[in-house]
Structure 1
Amino acid sequence: MSPTTPHITDPLLLSVLSAASLARQSALETLSLLSSSSPPSPLALSAQQKTLKTHLASLRAQYRKALLSTRATKAQTTLLRQEIDALHLSLQNLYYEQRHLRGEIEGCETYDHAFLKLPMVSVEEFLESHEDYVGKGEHEVTVARIEDEMRERQRLEGVRVALERRKEGLVKEVAGKREELGKLDGEVEKWVSGEMAVGKVFEAREKKMMEGIVS
């Protein structure tokens, strides 16, 4: 395998490939030396073996270094993956919470509030008579309008109760007048028929009037 393999760019892996290539080349040279027609000299064979051992030692060192680096990278990747998973879970929770809050907001915005049906004065009319609320927020103005409507209705209820009581008094007064007129009609009929003298009719009327004054 060439140390310049295009899909490998990590320096440690490239150093492993380079050491492997050198060890392979040294091993091939050793085999070539051993398989030659004439036996190699002990000195040349020893030198070749030392070179092979050196490359193999370098390969083992580079491999161990790359292995430790790979383990560290794998551990770091695992931690980062767990962090990403936690962030993704948090993002999902935020998404669900956002959707819930949007539903609540939409429910509030479309809620059929009872105060919207109240025949209150318009905002413009209210602000004309309550200049201290000019420039205030919509919520504050709405609350003030509702409170003002409540006070006005309480005042009108008081007026209605007073008028009701006055009406009851007038009804009783009219009933008394009718009863008095009925009695007077009876006295007049007696006077017309001659059963009662005119003086007695007026005496009876004066007596009733005096009784009313005294009472």
Structure 2
Amino acid sequence: MFYRSLFTNAFTACALFSGEIALADSFNISNDDSSAYSLINSLGEPLNAGNAILGTFSSGTWSYDVTTSRWNFQGNSYAQDQLKYSDLMSMQNNFTSALTNIPEEQNGGVADGRFNLSGDYSSSLTSPVYLMVTGQDGETALFVFKDVSSDSLLNYDNIDISGTETFDLWLTTKEQALTNELDYYTECILGNINLQNNTIQLLIPEPATATMSLLGLTALMVRRKRK
């Protein structure tokens, strides 16, 4: 049994998908619990605005290898610290919502480092369950969920619920998952985790910051040349 959130609720419905009726199950993800991670930006400040999206990568694009903890794209393999700004933008562009009952921009709003999202997903999905959180300045964190007993990735086709049962997931550590009798815990696969204060720091500086840095460097070079 999954831990029942006192802060969240979800509902079950059928969705019209690809011209046919596709089964849909109720899915709920939250970090509102006191033991869950808090989201902060690259400056260490609580994330005040942004989006949380439950989804998947477009077919044939980015994927994550849970065994090697590396990203794969077009035959190439990358560690997190090897990803360029353009790679991270490519991830965002190839990430699509898996929820079928609400518009993508309403999946989940971020406020004060916390969020909540719920909805129905198509049961035809077989890819890993990814969660993307983006800040208002373009910063990003990405998560997968792992089985407490086997450490294997949670895939959409692993989820077998019916009726009005809710599938709840928390942004939480393995130890907290065991304490709260959760079946799955969170692994941040893009972002920096601080276990001491239970925060996740999003990555990707906003483009304006990088642009200003380049302009500043150019100005210094011009000034030095004139001297």
- TM-score norm. by structure 1 comes to 0.20
Higher relative contact order (CA 8 A, sep 6+): 2
The structure with the largest helix share of the pair is 1
